[in-house]
Structure 1
Amino acid sequence: MAIKTTTHLNFRGNARDALAFYQSVFGGELTAFTYAQAQAVTDPAEADQIIWGQVLAEDGFHVMAYDVPSAVSWDPGTIPVFVSVQGGDAEGISRCWKRLVEDGTVVRPIGPSGFSPFYGMVRDRFGTTWVLAVEAARPAP
């Protein structure tokens, strides 16, 4: 059996904007279904919010998101999750970095690290913390 994991991000009313932003950074197809489309509206003010959404790119990038309804307690915490994006070259990672830092906060400037020739961390305008790195060869155990 093959297993694949996908990062699923939770938002409060701005999942559509976040998914559109991630599509602009990483490319791919954005799919979004609203609470109204799913016939799952509990608060009419939230009918157009996202109950299920994703960005899926041919290169393997995949992220999902939804809007947590106001009736559900939700606290995103300080750093509940990092989304790690690894690629084979600094140019590609650099392109993504430049877009993610727009209106974001650099947590660790991008550059060489002990475990990657090109590594950085940024909290984007939606509060999601991204770790971007060029994959490095690992020594055999």
Structure 2
Amino acid sequence: MRLSPYLMMNGNTKEAIQFYKKALNAEILFSQTFGEMPENPDYPLPAEAKELVSHAMIKVGESEIMFSDNFPGQTSQIGNQVTICISSKDAEKSKQIFESLQQDGQVKMPFQKTFFSPGYGIVTDKYGVTFQIHTDGN
């Protein structure tokens, strides 16, 4: 069994993937637009949907995150319903990830030493996704 966060975006998936690729040193495993999918003549694709991402997946370390843009006419609420915990054994690496994700975002809990971690913080990035950055060990 594997749990994979799936982020539904409002038309900015391509931008988000590039941001996470840089901030998290992620590898893009797959990306397909609605326009690249086989056409169904019974349901013609609106022109504004052709460049939107129908499905994408990135790999961060040993984990994967999936993405999709909403189909035109549908939206997702930006909120805290999806939280992603990123764990590292290296406090400096954890701090670097935290600082990368906080660019144009909002710090919920500053990165700091806690009773359960030598480096922990919570940040909501510029796309409204909340990350818990956790360093293993004390």
User: Normalized against structure 2, the TM-score is what?
Assistant: 0.87
CA deviation after TM superposition for structure 1 residue 136, in Å: 3.1
Counterpart check, 1:130 vs 2:127: no
Decide whether the 8 Å contact of 2:35 with 2:45 is kept in 1.
no
What is the correspondence of 1:1-141 to structure 2 with a 5 Å cutoff?
Answer: 3-30=1-28, 31-39=30-38, 42-57=45-60, 59-76=61-78, 78-136=79-137
Q: What is the CA–CA distance in structure 2 between the aligned matches of 1:61 and 1:95, rounded to whole Å?
A: 18
Decide whether the 8 Å contact of 2:48 with 2:72 is kept in 1.
no
Closer, same or farther in 2 for the Cα pair 1:65/1:7, shift >3 Å?
same
Decide whether the 8 Å contact of 1:26 with 1:61 is kept in 2.
no
Structure 1 runs of 4+ aligned residues shifted over 4 Å read none
CA deviation after TM superposition for structure 1 residue 117, in Å: 1.9
The letter of the residue matching 1:45 is E
Q: What is the CA–CA distance in structure 1 between the aligned matches of 2:135 and 2:9, rounded to whole Å?
A: 28
Superposed CA RMSD: 1.7
Decide whether the 8 Å contact of 2:10 with 2:75 is kept in 1.
no
Q: What is the CA–CA distance in structure 2 between the aligned matches of 1:26 and 1:74, rounded to whole Å?
A: 23
Decide whether the 8 Å contact of 2:80 with 2:130 is kept in 1.
yes
Q: What is the CA–CA distance in structure 2 between the aligned matches of 1:98 and 1:61, rounded to whole Å?
A: 20
CA deviation after TM superposition for structure 1 residue 80, in Å: 0.9
SS in 1 for 2:45: coil
Decide whether the 8 Å contact of 1:14 with 1:67 is kept in 2.
yes
User: Normalized against structure 1, the TM-score is what?
Assistant: 0.85
1:95-122, Cα deviation, whole Å (9 max, x unpaired): 1112111111111100022322211011
SS in 1 for 2:128: coil
CA deviation after TM superposition for structure 1 residue 73, in Å: 4.8
